[in-house]
Structure 1
């Protein structure tokens, strides 16, 4: 590829896509009590085991600007760099990526580097990687690609459906009493990344898992109508069979051209919990 693509630990991109296009990643940090682990060094079985044995959720922290700078320095100076960072509405990772780029440009002012706040996470960034590599293969040059991807990042819709509230309660993002009542009433949450800032917000509260999935699928059509030429991306938390069933139902209803399917990494799974499903697509 003529342009180097870089993501971070808040992205969930299929390994075959990472390898095919030489995409680089900068890890985030997860803190289990006194133990700090990098997202790229934490395999999923170990992560799930640690999560189940812990009474509280691990804390996450962004990479430092120097972490990004070190990765940037590995790239051929003649190769432009495009960074697709996890939403600035949920992490300071984007800010670190920008500061790391400034460090690089202080030393090498002729370098071409652009950091985009994707306003999404997980498979939403996989969708943007797919978009970027498709346009690069079509011959988009640097300035054209940057402009296109800035516009595309503004059009990503990211929806989450949670099967359990346990992680939200553990993480202090849902009051324990309210959480206990919600669990008793079998309340399921449908979340979204806000269109303006990419912050995670509750879209709907639905009673019962089947109703939640039905509304989750219905919401796709409320954001976009012309989907036959589009790709949809999905990530799941340790729930491949369930995820593929939902994805097939979505594709049957909306006739997406193609799909991306990936298991969610430790960072986002920390907050969504077991069996969560995330989808991303471009809205009208």
Structure 2
């Protein structure tokens, strides 16, 4: 039986090759609309150019989820499909995936398709995809129900943190309180946030320096019960800060394994320049 691990492009894995046998990884692209032009968040996207266009655009910009057809195309890739979407409270991606699942199952009821609402974006989705791949590698005879039970448990015991220097796009799109975004931009301070249990962005507080911000991140990870393991750090043209954070995490937890990835279009659009998105579990 073949497996397909599918995510939308809020997962910043590009060109990922699963280790598990008979398993593929694919992603469904979100889109960013700027000045009447649509940018597809795929491997060909020039993220730097997108960011320049967004910064220069005076009119409203927006994002759009993958279409039902795009999800359906990917769901036809294997006998067993696990799909992971950006938080259902941040995008219509989850609902589009649900509709696509129903269409594909009407075509062929023998397929197995399970959709996970990550209640997050960025690093948490990467954590879930890699955890799935590892589980399938270590348990090649696992049933579909065993795999879905496993990934639901991982989703419940993992989260994401956002360390942002600019909040304009998030505030405009209603993804965070406008007052908090305006205040943070005006004072030129970093803001730490996390995904709430409902999947929206919850502001944890400001940090006036990178050192203070990293202390807050380590504190949040400690409170969550992180004891080492995989950490995914996504960055928007801020690799040095991602490397510094990875070193700080390793100093606190020597068994931690940090993977640093550049943000694709969707995550760059919302995290904006210098932003970091950190996914981890416990």
User: Which TM-score applies when normalising by structure 1?
Assistant: 0.88
Match of 1:48 in 2: 51
Work out the CA distance in 1 between the residues paired with 2:172 and 2:238. 21
* Aligned positions of 1:57-136 closer than 5 A: 58-73=61-76, 75-76=77-78, 79-136=79-136
- Map 1:213-232 to 2 at 5 A: 213-227=214-228, 230-232=229-231
Deviation per residue, 1:96-147 (Å, 9 max, x gap): 1011000011121111111111112112111111100100001233221111
Contact 2:192–2:205 under 8 Å retained in 1: yes
Q: Which whole-Å CA distance do the structure 1 matches of 2:59 and 2:206 have between them?
A: 24
Q: Post-superposition shift, 1:149?
A: 0.4
Q: Name whichever of 38-47 and 27-36 sits farther off.
A: 38-47
Find runs of 4+ consecutive structure 1 residues off by over 6 angstroms. none
> Residues 219 and 132 from structure 1, CA distance in 2 versus in 1: closer, same or farther, beyond 3 angstroms?
same
Distance in 2, matches of 1:17 and 1:237, equals 23
C-alpha distance in structure 1 between counterparts of 2:259 and 2:226, whole Å: 19
Gaps of 5+ in 2: none
Q: CA deviation at 1:175?
A: 4.3
TM-score by length of structure 2 reads 0.88
* CA distance, structure 2, for counterparts of residue 9 and residue 168 of structure 1: 17
Give the aligned length: 276
Q: Which residues of 2 match residues 176-191 of structure 1 at below 5 A? A: 181-191=183-193
RMSD over aligned Cα atoms: 2.4
The whole-number CA distance in structure 1 between the counterparts of 2:152 and 2:212 is 35
Gap change, CA 1:277 and 1:18, over 3 Å in 2: farther
Residue 273 of structure 1, CA deviation: 1.2
Determine if contact 1:56/1:170 at 8 Å carries over to the other structure.
no
